[in-house]
Structure 1
């Protein structure tokens, strides 16, 4: 039976379906609970939250479900935890983005003390919350953190975009690996090489990773229906992680205009860009992407650029201006049919069961 894998046994799931974690405030407790209560692993991206925010999210999830869930963090890459940025670069980028602030009725940005919450405080909050799963991207937590996770019975799940990254995760003692192909929406989470040099497709990457490591592999990228699930499992995955299809559900915290765009013809035209956050990510082409792309090489890195554009994106969402938002979207968006998380889970399970029966599985 396709429902019974090492991932479902280890995590206590009914089906091997993981909801992809969304950062930047588009995760929601409602979505996590809906997926958990439907037998999958709900995930909440907390990299934008401070310690108190992380504790509040974990408590809110636990108040509504006793099922296992995941909290997801970004491991600091380069100097992203506290980037060095001189005032001249800040002023130049502020000037570049000033027309968008003005158009949206926003005051000019003033330099903050920090561009993102400190990673050390985030880790401590996650460990104190003791979710069933700590998933992470952009690297590998320090050995001491992984050891504390083992002591607290927290399963660790790291993301890999290449076989080399998967091997590095296994050698570090990580419990499971998300093998994520370039079809996926949102950020490309490479950490050993530049993301532009780490763009394997999901169904080429998954069997290679499954052959290279002994720990369970979770396939991600371009999976939105039962056909994708069945194919991923046939290639050696022990579960799948699905992002865009869950982002499109009413329970997600994506702006309604963003969710509507995922069902539009525009969702067929996605692109990889650094303009929204300073890191390579896949989203639907729009005006802000097109206008900032010629300046991509001069933009500050993450989290500085992400801090700059977060105010623009928030105001654009309030004003339902899809042309000025980051419209994260994977290449499987044209396959979307469901707008409710529980209905989506039911459809995924039904379709995968039907397909595996037809295949004799």
Structure 2
């Protein structure tokens, strides 16, 4: 049994030390509930819940739906309760919905808050006011210091190879530098798609893994069939890093870039001033079919249910741990 007693209660007792990362458009209530029922933390971006003008906030309805589904599961399965869920807040200045969404999350007492694109004290205070914890994603040690100084409870180290807005640093370097001064909750993101990778993250010093791209090819993910098929057929060579689409460096599927009539090997760059989350995404509508993914997709061989994927990761994790235990027992 792993010892996770040093972690906040919301991160203790998980079936696997794993958080499913929030994916724009792709993560919704169905996927989150399936992930939590499977024993890992499920998450979604608050901006995924977008209602039509004049309608009540969809985020409010989603949080009610998730809470009711997990409560029903826990009543029916007292010996295998669901893991808690997380909501991702984009705190970039262009997110005009932020204050409203914070109020909704406080109302629902969201247990885990994931913050991105800026560390803000008032967001951390909102989470703490309802008993939640804050995990802030960072790409380097300098940003890690800032996040903790402003009140975040834990860090998500987004290293090279991660899907979406990925950092450029090796996980070996990033985790080591953070662990020199920070002993709180630390998650690792970057090409994790297997149980072996999860064990390696733990060996490096991370408390939990942070996995997204593998869940794109699940039945519950809100991705079009072509996107899921591209994940299954792709590998690390199919990932292209570019700042063109959002103004911040990110990883995308080469075939989707080619399908848009662009040359993946000769993409112009853009700067962060082009980022705008006013309509829920920093990506202009012209790029809506440029699909993000991380370098770990080579491990995804079929479209499956989220629970099946977690089963596969657990089997790999336990087998890898047994091999290492046998080696060190000699």
Asked if TM exceeds 0.5, the reply is yes
| CA–CA distance in structure 2, aligned partners of residues 236 and 308 of structure 1 | 34
2:88: which partner in 1?
72
TM-score, structure 1 normalization: 0.76
The 1:63/1:233 distance shift into structure 2, 3 A limit, reads: same
1:202: which partner in 2?
171
| CA–CA distance in structure 2, aligned partners of residues 240 and 165 of structure 1 | 19
2:42: which partner in 1?
42
2:285: which partner in 1?
310
Q: CA deviation at 1:300?
A: 6.6
| CA–CA distance in structure 2, aligned partners of residues 132 and 255 of structure 1 | 30
Within the candidate set 59, 70, 76, 2:64 is matched to: 59
| CA–CA distance in structure 2, aligned partners of residues 74 and 296 of structure 1 | 23
- 1:146 pairs with 2:114: no
CA contact (8 A) 2:160 2:170 kept: yes
Q: Deviations over 1:19-59 (max 9, x none)?
A: 01012x21121111111011110001123445812112111
Q: Deviations over 1:94-121 (max 9, x none)?
A: xxxxxxxxxxxxxxxxxxxxxxx43222
Q: Deviations over 1:233-262 (max 9, x none)?
A: 011111101011112211111111101001
The 1:340/1:49 distance shift into structure 2, 3 A limit, reads: closer
Worse-matched range after superposition: 222-231 or 48-57: 48-57
The 1:307/1:210 distance shift into structure 2, 3 A limit, reads: closer
Within the candidate set 174, 181, 189, 1:220 is matched to: 189
The 1:147/1:359 distance shift into structure 2, 3 A limit, reads: same
- 1:301 pairs with 2:279: no
1:119: which partner in 2?
98
| CA–CA distance in structure 1, aligned partners of residues 197 and 271 of structure 2 | 38
2:21: which partner in 1?
20
TM-score, structure 2 normalization: 0.82
1:33: which partner in 2?
33
Within the candidate set 304, 308, 311, 1:343 is matched to: 308
| CA–CA distance in structure 1, aligned partners of residues 309 and 273 of structure 2 | 38
Count of aligned residue pairs for this structure pair: 302
Q: CA deviation at 1:214?
A: 2.0
Runs of at least 5 residues in structure 2 that lack an aligned partner in the other structure: 51-55, 72-81
The 1:152/1:8 distance shift into structure 2, 3 A limit, reads: closer
CA contact (8 A) 2:247 2:270 kept: no
2:113: which partner in 1?
134
2:78: which partner in 1?
none
CA contact (8 A) 2:7 2:184 kept: no
